Amino acid sequence: MINSKKTTDSAPQWASTLIDQLKEIEIFLGNIPREKNWQSDYAKKVLNKILNEERPVLTDAHTQTVFNKIVKDLSHEGYGPDNIANFINSGISYEGGPPYCNEAEVREALVLSNKP
Which secondary-structure segment (H or E) carries 113? Answer: helix 103-113
Q: Is the pLDDT of residue 5 over 60?
A: no
Q: Is residue 52 part of a domain?
A: yes
Is 79 strand, coil or helix? strand
If one counts the domains in the chain, the total is 1
Q: Is residue 33 part of a domain?
A: yes
pTM of the shown model = 0.75
Q: Is residue 2 part of a domain?
A: no
6 DSSP β-pair partners: 79
- What range defines the domain where residue 19 resides? 13-113
Q: Is the pLDDT of residue 13 over 90?
A: yes
Please report the pLDDT score of residue 58 as a whole number: 83
The per-residue pLDDT for range 41-90, each reduced to its tens digit, is 666 667 666 666 555 578 899 999 999 999 999 999 999 999 999 999 99
Please report the pLDDT score of residue 75 as a whole number: 97
The answer to whether the CB of 79 falls within 8 A of the CB of 6 is: yes
Q: Is residue 63 part of a domain?
A: yes
Q: Is the pLDDT of residue 114 over 90?
A: no
The answer to whether the CB of 67 falls within 8 A of the CB of 100 is: no
Task: Write down the mean pLDDT value for the chain.
Answer: 84
**Residue 19 or residue 10, greater confidence:** 19
Q: Is residue 79 part of a domain?
A: yes
Averaged pLDDT, 24-46: 75
Q: Is residue 7 part of a domain?
A: no
Q: Is the pLDDT of residue 95 over 70?
A: yes
